[in-house]
A = this chain, B = another copy of it.
Amino acid sequence: MTGQVRTVDGRVAGRRGQATRQKLLDCLSEMLSSSPYRDVKVIDVARKAGTSPATFYQYFPDVEGAVLEIAEQMATEGAQLTSLVEGRTWVGKSGWSAAEELVDGFLEFWRRNDAILRVVDLGAAEGDKRFYKIRMKILNSVTNSLTESVKELQAKGKVDKDVSPAAMAGSLVAMLAAVASHQKGFQAWGVKQAELKPNLALLVHLGITGKKPTR
């Protein structure tokens, strides 16, 4: 857990080195949004960064290694998604706005990081534990909070006993992630953002509380 940035061959990276490294990550990031993951080549990233392939291999074992790095950075930022759920109440009007803001925050985060999230999703689905862990890191914060919310409501007798809080929270979060990563698809299919959001919020509210929201 040291902050020490190291090259592949063990040297400690200085100021200049870190700048180069970061530039490579930025260029890779950009590349991922403009061309299919399968076609991203080290040589292209290096060229774009105004350096040579050899330099790339000084800092990363391969493309995947660099992608993991970017994903890690994003996951750290993504931890703030918890704030969308934590300390929220799900009753009455504030319940509805909680649902709305959760949906909003989620879609926004996904839109901002869609390229890298696609790759993380693929890696996780393919069974790669490193990607899976990162995906967890992002989703867990939200999922856990939601799980707690459901448990509380259950304890108060406001939600049926036979609902599994973890399964429900997980399903809702998976839905949000899926819809978020196919936002463009929905638009192309004739569903506008404006009508998508309230429907998602409705589903979230229904899932958590089991009741229609009072708006």
Contacts from A to B (Cβ < 8 Å): 36-38, 64, 114, 118, 121-128, 132, 135-136, 160, 162-164, 166-168, 170-172, 174-175, 177-179, 181-182, 184-186, 188-191, 195-196, 198-200, 202-203, 206-207, 210, 212
**Do the beta carbons of B206 and A203 come within 8 Å of each other?**
yes
Q: Specify which of B123, B174, B190 is in contact with A166 (CB 8 Å cutoff).
A: B190
Q: A36-B126, A164-B199, A177-B178 are in contact. List 5 more A-B contacts (CB 8 A).
A: A38-B64, A121-B121, A163-B202, A168-B203, A175-B175
- Can you give 11 contacting A-B residue pairs, CB < 8 Å? A37-B38, A38-B64, A121-B122, A164-B196, A164-B198, A167-B199, A168-B199, A170-B191, A172-B203, A203-B203, A206-B210
Cα distance, A128 to B182, chains bound together (Å)? 12
A172: chain B residues within 8 A (beta carbon):
175, 203
**Do the beta carbons of A188 and B132 come within 8 Å of each other?**
yes
A174's nearest neighbour on chain B, judged by CB, is: B178
**Do the beta carbons of A170 and B188 come within 8 Å of each other?**
no
